[in-house]
Amino acid sequence: MSHPEVGERLSSIKHVILVLSGKGGVGKSSCTVQLALSLAHQGHKVGVLDIDLCGPSIPRMLGLEGQQIHQASAGWVPVFADSTKRLACMSIGFLLPSKDSSVVWRGPKKNAMIKQFLADVYWGDLDYLLIDTPPGTSDEHLAAVEYLQEWNPDGAVVVTTPQAVALSDVKKEINFCEKVGLPVLGLIENMSGFVCPHCAECTNVFSTGGGEGLAKHMDIPFLGRAPIDPNLVMLLEQEDKTLVPDANDPDAEKERTGSIVETYQRCELSKIFAKITSHLEETVEAKE
Amino acid sequence: MADVAAPQGTVPEDANEHCVGPEHELAGRASGCEGCPNQQICATQASGPDPDLPVVAERLRNVKHKILVLSGKGGVGKSTFTGQLAFALAGDEEKEVGVVDIDICGPSLPRIMGCEREEIHRSAAGWSPIYVQDNLGLMSIAFMLPDEDAAVIWRGPKKNGLIKQFLKDVDWGSGADNTLDYMLFDTPPGTSDEHLSVVQLLRNSGISGAVIVTTPQEVALQDVRKEIDFCRKANVPIIGVVENMSGFVCPGCHGESRIFYPTTGGASALCKDLNIPLLGSIPLDPSIGRACDFGSSFIDTHADSPAAKAYVQIIDRIKQIVESTSSTSK
């Protein structure tokens, strides 16, 4: 089946990347947000589409809770996370009556929503569209891949944590990508170690190195390893994203920046993600 | 319009105003179905309640307590908790415990409970679960996959079909009567097909309650509120909330820090807000993850750690709550 309305929207978008992981809670959404913030910081125009319909976290992470979508003649206008409009976001979170309401939907209804997201959102010109997905290999993933397939999405970034339980789900996700013909652009090993703020010793809370080993084993590019950074956790948590977080002293008065893009640059982790992002950009551009 | 009143709990919550629900005998033909995009689907499906519901109820007749382990968010430790709960309950040799892993796309319990690469046996009585201990059986899709990396790329209806089979075709042994003291259900994250199916299929047999697992940060709590909303809509009693990964003790200097910072007060504030019991908090301990990777019981191998103590306390409370509610309802 052809989906020309999706193709029309995608024609103004240079790169489409899905962020996947078989396992939940490994940091798909936080990696998506960090990739988006890094890309936006480098001057790209970025869109983030959240297709986790039952548990949308992107609005909270980008500080856009309570915002609403506007309908224009060209389609749904996404919500912008910064004043320069370089970072746009679309999520079901913007469409719910209250943030506590659950979306108890079976597959077909989720598929229809995803199609609408892909066909009806007025992104304008974008360099990157990042699609954040729910865990698993089911309806949402199939729907997204099905609608995007004929328009050649660039591929998928797979996120994992280092422990064996997560890796086995991630292998399934990579297997899924192979089966549906979606190129794997690379693997990110997230939550790889935690630096104790008291003694600066790095503990491997969820062990370490598993992701890199898996990438080698399955012959896919390894994009990098990101430790747990309490400051980042705090930045994604707090409602006012212009405050520079300090997890060591949460109650201290904080510095203020212009936008979440700038605040993120103050987190240690942004340096690591800058590398991961440029690695990803090279992969994507090499494919062209 | 009394004759088109829907069987309770079958109308989709987001349906049109006069929806009679897909299980009603007039589904697809009632006046409210006019113009509904799903009219065709409802009209062509076999109407009436699912004929398998009594079969499930019969099969699970002698299961005393059915407990769902839920969480809106992924990776908060549902499976870890289910695994430890199962080990702890089965620690009492008198009790028979069954675990059903309905996370079809990402089954992790076989690894956590140390029985990977086993195969299900079929007999006239049904599928036999894999026994981790004499009194602890586990059923998971992982035992049916050709190899452990194979992805299960299934849409909703197929997942529902398998869940139904798990409920009606598994022979939980211990004689002909399928007697179990506890049956635990480990679920995938979210509020979708798997959750709806298991709740609907258990409608006739009754669910003792749901244990909701969360981590302290708002991003997780957000999804947990949705899950609680789901339980309330679906009439599933909530046993309580377990806060997992709350605080981390550095093995080097023993200083405690918060990896997942509770900016909105964590699970305790949420429980107070929504008036549900907080069962307890489990600190993050790297050995929990390692125990899961090796499929051993963390509570037994690290009995002295604060995390194991927290687990034991929480599990005792669950036992208490479940046993007291079922004795009052009978």
B185 pLDDT higher than 80:
yes
User: B223–A57: do the CB atoms touch at under 8 Å?
Assistant: yes
Q: Report the residue of chain A nearest B285, measured CA to CA.
A: A205
- Confirm or deny that A22 is annotated as ligand binding: yes
User: A104–B230: do the CB atoms touch at under 8 Å?
Assistant: yes
User: A137–B156: do the CB atoms touch at under 8 Å?
Assistant: no
Rounded Cα distance, B305 and A151, in Å:
53
- The phi, psi pair for A231, rounded to 5°, reads -65, -40
pLDDT tier at B1, thresholds 50, 70, 90 = very low
Partner residue opposite B192 with nearest CB, options A100, A105, A197: A105
Q: Contact at 8 Å (CB) between A61 and B219? A: yes
- The angle at the Cα of A99, spanning A93 to A103, to the nearest 5 degrees, equals 65
Q: Is residue A234 part of a domain?
A: yes
Q: Contact at 8 Å (CB) between A186 and A157? A: yes
| pLDDT score, position A281 | 95
- Confirm or deny that A121 is annotated as ligand binding: no
Q: Is residue A285 part of a domain?
A: no
Partner residue opposite B155 with nearest CB, options A29, A107, A175: A107
| pLDDT score, position A40 | 96
Rounded Cα distance, A38 and A19, in Å:
15
ipTM: 0.84
Enumerate residues 6+ apart whose C-beta is below 8 A from A216: A222
- Confirm or deny that B271 is annotated as ligand binding: no
Q: How far is B116 from chain A (nearest CA, A)?
A: 11
Rounded Cα distance, A225 and B185, in Å:
34
Helix axes of B193-201 and B156-168: crossing angle, nearest 10 degrees: 30
Enumerate residues 6+ apart whose C-beta is below 8 A from A194: A202, A203, A204, A205, A227, A228, B248, B259
Q: Is residue A211 part of a domain?
A: yes
Q: Contact at 8 Å (CB) between B156 and B192? A: yes
CATH architecture of B53-329: 3-Layer(aba) Sandwich (3.40)
- Confirm or deny that A63 is annotated as ligand binding: no
Please report, for the domain that includes residue A255, its CATH number.
3.40.50.300
| pLDDT score, position B326 | 66
Give me the residues of chain A with pLDDT under 70, please.
Answer: 1
- Confirm or deny that A23 is annotated as ligand binding: yes
B4 pLDDT higher than 50:
no
User: B229–A102: do the CB atoms touch at under 8 Å?
Assistant: yes
B7 pLDDT higher than 70:
no
Q: How far is B183 from chain A (nearest CA, A)?
A: 23
Residues of chain A contacting B72 with CB distance shorter than 8 Å: 54-55, 102
Strands B63-70 and B209-214 turn out to be parallel
Number of domains in chain A: 1
User: A198–B149: do the CB atoms touch at under 8 Å?
Assistant: no
User: B189–A204: do the CB atoms touch at under 8 Å?
Assistant: no
Count how many pairs of residues, chain A against chain B, have C-beta atoms within 8 Å: 217
| pLDDT score, position A19 | 97
| pLDDT score, position B168 | 92
Q: Which two tokens stand for residue A167?
A: 């890796």
User: B151–A22: do the CB atoms touch at under 8 Å?
Assistant: yes
CATH 3.40.50.300 residue ranges in chain B? 53-329
- Confirm or deny that B19 is annotated as ligand binding: yes
Residues of chain A contacting B155 with CB distance shorter than 8 Å: 107, 138-139, 142
Q: Is residue A179 part of a domain?
A: yes
Q: Which residue has the higher pLDDT, B120 or B44?
A: B120
Q: Is residue A111 part of a domain?
A: yes
Residues of chain B contacting A95 with CB distance shorter than 8 Å: none
Partner residue opposite B148 with nearest CB, options A168, A179, A199: A168
| pLDDT score, position A251 | 78
| pLDDT score, position B28 | 78
| pLDDT score, position A205 | 81
The residue-averaged pLDDT of B107-129 equals 90
Q: Report the residue of chain B nearest A96, measured CA to CA.
A: B226
Partner residue opposite B190 with nearest CB, options A54, A171, A247: A54
User: What is the secondary structure of B109-149 as a DSSP string?
Assistant: HHHHTT-TT---EEETTEEEPEEEETTEEEE-GGGGSSSTT
Beta strands per DSSP E along chain B: 63-70, 97-101, 121-123, 126-128, 130-133, 136-139, 180-186, 209-214, 238-243, 248-249, 256-257, 278-281
Suggest the residue from A109, A138, A171, A214 to mutate for an interface test with chain B (most B CBs closer than 10 A). A138
Q: Is residue A14 part of a domain?
A: yes
Rounded Cα distance, B180 and A266, in Å:
55
Q: Which domain holds residue A238?
A: 4-279
User: A207–B260: do the CB atoms touch at under 8 Å?
Assistant: no
User: B226–A55: do the CB atoms touch at under 8 Å?
Assistant: yes
Q: How far is A167 from chain B (nearest CA, A)?
A: 10
Q: Is residue A286 part of a domain?
A: no
Q: Is residue A191 part of a domain?
A: yes
**Which tens digits make up the pLDDT trace of B214-259?**
999 998 999 999 999 999 989 999 999 999 998 887 777 777 788 8
Helix axes of B218-233 and A230-237: crossing angle, nearest 10 degrees: 50
